[in-house]
Amino acid sequence: MSGRAWFFLRPFAPVLVAAFTSMMLRAALIASAAYLVKPILDDELVQPGAMLVRWAPIIVLVFYALKSVLEFVQSYFMGTAGDGVCCALRTALYRHAVDLPVTYYHRTSVPSLLARVFADVRHIQAVAGGAFLSMLKDICSVAALGSLLVYQNWRLAGLALVILPFAAYPLLRFGRFRRHRVHEEQDCIAEMSAVAHEGLAGVKIVKAFGMAEQQKRRFDERNERFFELRRGVRLAMAASNPISEMALALGAAAIVGYGGYEVLVARTTVGEIASFFVALGLLYEPVKRIGRGNMDIQAALGAFQRILRVLDEPLEAARADYPPLVVTAGRIEMRDVSFAYGPRPVLSDVSFVAEGGTTLALVGRSGAGKSTLMDMIAGFVDPGAGSMLIDGQDTRNFSLASVRARMAIVTQEVFLFDDTVRANIAYGDPDASEDAVVRAAESAEIHEFISGLPEGYDTVVGERGVRLSGGERQRLAIARAFLADAPMLLLDEATSALDAATEARVVRSLTRLMEGRTVLVVAHRLSTIQRAERIIVLADGRIVESGDHESLLARDGEYRRLYREQFERLPGGAAIRPATA
C-alpha cells in the first residue's frame, strides 16, 4: 500500500522535502535550547555578568522567532501537500468511477461510492492537515531530543529507552484496532447515506404509502449503530491513554531516582542532569502525541484502503486505441449471444438481424432479458459468448466511444442534468451551434414551449429535470437524440408513462426521429410496436417467437398471450388501457 500512497505523494515531493527540512531545523532548535541549560547552570550562573546571561532576552526572542517561522513553513507546505493529495484522490476516484462498467453499479449503490469520494477523502484530508503533520513534527523532535539525551548521559538514555516501548504499546495496539474499525464506520456512513438518499429522493412515495415512520426507523437503526461503533472507539482510546501515562510516569520516576544518584556520587553535574531532564520533559509530550496521532493515521489508512478497493475495480474496456467504427447501412446483428450475471444466465444463444433503416421490437415479460440485450447493443456490457455486429463488423474490434457515438438512446426514465435547457439538449455535443440546438428542439416539438420559459434556452431544469413535466422531459430527451443525429436509435418505451394528449405529441416527435434510422425498441406496451417490421419475443433469455404483429397474433404463442393480457375486456366491454409488462 505504501507504493500506492507514494503515487499520489510523488508530485508534491519538493513541497514535502521543504516541510520535512523545516521540521528537522525546528527539532534541532528545540534540542539546542535544552542543551543550553547545562552551560547556564554549570558556568554562567556562577559568573555574574557572563555573556550568555546578558544576551538571554535576545536569545529567547530569536529562538521563538525562528521557531515560529519554521512552524509556519512546515504547516503551510504540509497543508499544501495534504490538500493536493486529497484533490488528486478525489479526481482519481471520480474519473475511475465514471469509467467503471455499468454492471458495477448493479452491485454498488451510488451513495456508497460517493462516501468514498467525499467522506473517506475528507477523513484523509483532516488527518493530513492535523495528526500526520503533528506526528512528523514530533518524530523529528523525538529524534533530535533523543540524540541529545544519548550525548548527555547514555546510561539514563538507555533507561528511558527501556521504558518507552511499554508506554507506546497500548497506543500502537489501539492504532491497529482503529484501522479495522474505520472500515465498519465508513460502511455504516455509506448505508446511512443510501437510506437518507432513498427516503428524500422518493419522498412522494414514502408519504403516499404512509412509510415515513418506517423510513425514519431505518435511518435511526443505522445512526444508532454508528454511534455504538464510535462509542467503542472512544472507550478504547480513553483506556489506552491512562495506561500509557502510568508507564511514562514510572519511567520518569526511575530516571529521576537514578539521575539523583549520579549527581550524589559526582558522576555528573547538576547542569548536565538538569539539561537531561529538560530534554526528557520536552520529549514526553511528543511521545504521547505520536501514540495518539498513530490512531488517527491508522484510521486514515483504513479510509485509504477503502478508496483503493474502488480504484482496483477493473475499468470498462474503452478500446481507445482501436479504430473508429464506420457505419453505412446500420445493420445490427446478434450472433449466438449469451450472457450471465455471475452464475445467473440472462441470455442464451440469441441471434437476430435488424436490417438498416428498419424497426425491430423486443417484447417479453419482466426478466426475459430485454434490458440486458439493449445494454449490450449500447455497449454497456459485452457478450459473454457470441458476438454483436454492425454492418458485418464485430463491435469489439472498434473503440467503444465510436460504437456509442453511432447510437442515440431515449429511455422511459429520462435523465436530465441540473443545467440549462440548452446544455441538456447539446449534452452530447457541447460545441453545437445555437441554430443546431433550436432545429433539434423544433423537430422534437418543444421549441415553442422553451421559448415561453422565463429565460428560454438558458432556463435551468433542476435536478433530474424536476421543473419540467414528464412529456416535456421526454421531448427534451428526443431533442438531444435529434442533435446527436446517430444512424441507430434505441428506444426503451418512451411513452408508457404519459397521458394520451402528451403521448400523441411525443409519438409524433419519435416518428420523425425514427425516419431513415435503424431502430430497436424495448416494448412494454404492445400497442406502440404494431408497425415494427419485425418483433422478437423473449422468454427466459431465449427467442421464442419472431415475426410481424399480424403473423404473431395469428399464432397461439407467447406474443398472443401477452397481447390478450394487455387488451382483456372488462365486464360491459370497456377496454383496459395497455399495462406495463
> Do 57 and 10 share a structural domain?
yes
Structurally, the chain folds into a number of domains equal to: 3
Other beta carbons within 10 Å of 96: 17
Cell 550562573 belongs to residue: 45
**What phi-psi label fits residue 30: left (phi over 0), alpha (psi between -120 and 50 degrees) or beta?**
alpha
Rounded to whole angstroms, how far apart are CA atoms 499 and 254? 87
Whether the model pTM is above 0.75: no
Confidence of residue 335 (pLDDT cuts 50, 70, 90): very high
Comparing CA positions, the residue from 542, 562, 541 lying closest to residue 553 is 562
> Do 419 and 401 share a structural domain?
no
Domain that holds residue 122: 2-311
CATH of the domain at 463: 3.40.50.300
What are the tens digits of pLDDT across the range 456-479?
Answer: 989 888 877 778 887 888 888 888
> Do 330 and 302 share a structural domain?
no
- 479: its cell numbers: 431533442
What is the arrangement of strands in the sheet containing 385-390, beginning at the earlier edge strand? 344-354, 332-341, 385-390, 393-394
> Do 265 and 187 share a structural domain?
yes
> Do 332 and 288 share a structural domain?
no
Rounded to whole angstroms, how far apart are CA atoms 37 and 278? 8
Rounded to whole angstroms, how far apart are CA atoms 334 and 373? 9
Query: How, if at all, do strands 359-364 and 518-522 pair?
Result: parallel
Other beta carbons within 10 Å of 12: 19
- 161: its cell numbers: 529507552
> Do 428 and 383 share a structural domain?
no
What are the tens digits of pLDDT across the range 511-526?
Answer: 788 888 898 988 776 7
Please name every residue paired with 407 in a beta bridge, in sequence order, or none if there are none. 488
What are the tens digits of pLDDT across the range 33-84?
Answer: 777 777 766 665 555 555 655 666 677 787 778 888 888 888 888 888 888 8
The DSSP symbol for 523 reads -
Q: Where are the alpha helices (DSSP H) in 265-320?
A: 270-311
Q: What is the 3-state secondary structure (H, E, C) of 337-360?
A: EEEEECCEEEEEEEEEEECCCCEE
Confidence of residue 571 (pLDDT cuts 50, 70, 90): very low
8 Å CB contact between 547 and 381: no
Is 504 inside a domain boundary?
no
Comparing CA positions, the residue from 29, 32, 34, 31 lying closest to residue 278 is 34
Is 219 inside a domain boundary?
yes
What are the tens digits of pLDDT across the range 237-266?
Answer: 655 556 666 666 666 677 777 777 776 777
> Do 296 and 181 share a structural domain?
yes
> Do 53 and 23 share a structural domain?
yes
> Do 171 and 186 share a structural domain?
yes
CATH of the domain at 243: 1.20.1560.10
Rounded to whole angstroms, how far apart are CA atoms 79 and 86? 11
Is 316 inside a domain boundary?
no
